[in-house]
Amino acid sequence: MNQDPSRKFEEITLRTEPIFQGQIISLQVDTVRLPDGREATREIVKHPGAVAVLALLGDKEKMLVVEQYRKPLNKSQVEIPAGKLDPGEDPMDAARRELEEETGYRCASLRHLSSFYTSPGFADELLHLYIAEGLERGQANPDDDEFLDCSAVTLEEAERLIREARISDAKTVLAVYAWKLYKLTGAL
Amino acid sequence: MNQDPSRKFEEITLRTEPIFQGQIISLQVDTVRLPDGREATREIVKHPGAVAVLALLGDKEKMLVVEQYRKPLNKSQVEIPAGKLDPGEDPMDAARRELEEETGYRCASLRHLSSFYTSPGFADELLHLYIAEGLERGQANPDDDEFLDCSAVTLEEAERLIREARISDAKTVLAVYAWKLYKLTGAL
């Protein structure tokens, strides 16, 4: 009997059908053997992974946010700075890079908070979330096809933006909760 | 000048190329006009939307979790009960349904906590998170191709599972933070 908890209810891959190879994601359909011996198909999006930064100004008084258009949602949203990993890139290096590119800020302190899968039902995207403190302002330098505005919001403003659905992505809502816990307990 | 903040930096769709229509997701590549007039492509996964439930037992002492194999991650994970919306289904009805199907529990109280996009860079999946209290045990009844174990964990156990990466999906990490805030402040 297999005691490794991560193998519980394992689905064995019988076949993989590649569907699409894009610039950011790829898609495949796996045929799997279920624990009861039957077969099923799984639609799987492959993603290189991403980073996001909860960047706190002053004594945790404000958080940096960027406003950008999200084509999949057909609207502009307010989010924490984030971006996908370059091939082979260390996540912490990517966090520093994305923070500086999108906001112009460099940080004295960068700590890993948590890493989580954004949509484990259909995608393997793993997002690494960091907390940046000791911020110093420089010059923003977004990607060629990236249009965004950077600003700083208080916790109360962030909570209002969540209520108004101007902040509505998992990583930013999660980061706002983490920030609130940090302010309440002094630790994370 | 367009004052609607959700239209800021709008990307106008010039063409949509359908790539794949699956049982759960579909994939398309949109060609868009950027704010500076140039063109770019956007790889977009369409998803029907989902629900998840932070189900609290007793005086917020334990949270229901399910353990299931996630083929995109090639491992089994511990998550809060969740599932995708059926066509035309009300999210609150879906939350009650998934809670009962996956855990066997019915709830006296179900409140909306927040709704968030899981991966706004490449997918339109919107997840509605609810808090269930006043739980009463019944009989679980998972989907035909769904194999899972249900259990209940304390906040300390949940935080340990996060550290051990046995809990590692955005909605569950977010729900644990929400639960901690709820215990600390009495409100959500």
pLDDT digits (tens, 9 = 90+) for A101-147: 999 999 999 999 999 999 999 999 999 999 999 999 988 888 878 88
Six token digits for residue B24: 């759960």
A18 pLDDT band, cuts 50/70/90, is: very high
Q: The pTM is what? A: 0.95
Q: Kindly state whether residues A66 and A129 are assigned to the same domain.
A: yes
For residues A80-108, give the mean pLDDT: 97
- pLDDT at B2 (0 to 100): 54
Question: Do A73 and B124 make contact, defined as CB atoms within 8 angstroms?
Answer: yes
Q: Kindly state whether residues B94 and B170 are assigned to the same domain.
A: yes
- pLDDT at B12 (0 to 100): 96
Q: Kindly state whether residues A22 and A108 are assigned to the same domain.
A: no
Cα gap B79→B91, rounded to integer Å: 19
Chain A residues in contact with B165 by the CB 8 A cut-off are: 115
Cα gap A129→A126, rounded to integer Å: 10
- Domain contains B122: no
- ipTM given for this complex: 0.95
Closest CA to A142 of A82, A91, A77: A82
Closest CA to B63 of B147, B165, B173, B169: B173
Of B24, B67, B124, the CB nearest to A8: B67
Q: For B18-56, write each residue's pLDDT tens digit.
A: 999 999 999 999 999 999 999 999 999 999 999 999 999
Q: State how far residue A133 is from chain B, nearest Cα, in angstroms.
A: 21
Question: Do A120 and B67 make contact, defined as CB atoms within 8 angstroms?
Answer: no
**Which positions 67-86 of B are in contact with A (Cβ < 8 Å)?**
67-73, 75-77, 79, 82, 84
Percent of chain B with pLDDT over 70: 99
Residue of B7, B13, B116, B182 for testing the chain A interface, max A β-carbons within 10 Å: B116
Q: For B97-134, write each residue's pLDDT tens digit.
A: 999 999 999 999 999 999 999 999 999 999 999 999 99
A-B Cβ pairs (cutoff 8 Å, strict): 218
Whether residue B1 is predicted with pLDDT greater than 70 in this model: the reply is no
Alpha helical stretches, state H, chain B: 91-103, 155-163, 170-185
Residue B96 belongs to domain with CATH number: 3.90.79.10
Q: Kindly state whether residues B17 and B100 are assigned to the same domain.
A: no
Q: Kindly state whether residues B42 and B54 are assigned to the same domain.
A: no
Answer with the residue of higher pLDDT: B23 or B188. B23
**Which positions 4-63 of B are in contact with A (Cβ < 8 Å)?**
5-11, 13, 19-20, 22-25, 27, 29-30, 32, 34-36, 38, 40-45, 47, 50
A4 pLDDT band, cuts 50/70/90, is: confident
Q: State how far residue B61 is from chain A, nearest Cα, in angstroms.
A: 18
Q: Kindly state whether residues B54 and B41 are assigned to the same domain.
A: no
Structural domains in chain A (count): 2
Answer with the residue of higher pLDDT: B177 or B143. B177
Question: Do A148 and B9 make contact, defined as CB atoms within 8 angstroms?
Answer: yes
Range of the domain at B21: 5-46
Q: Kindly state whether residues A109 and A134 are assigned to the same domain.
A: yes
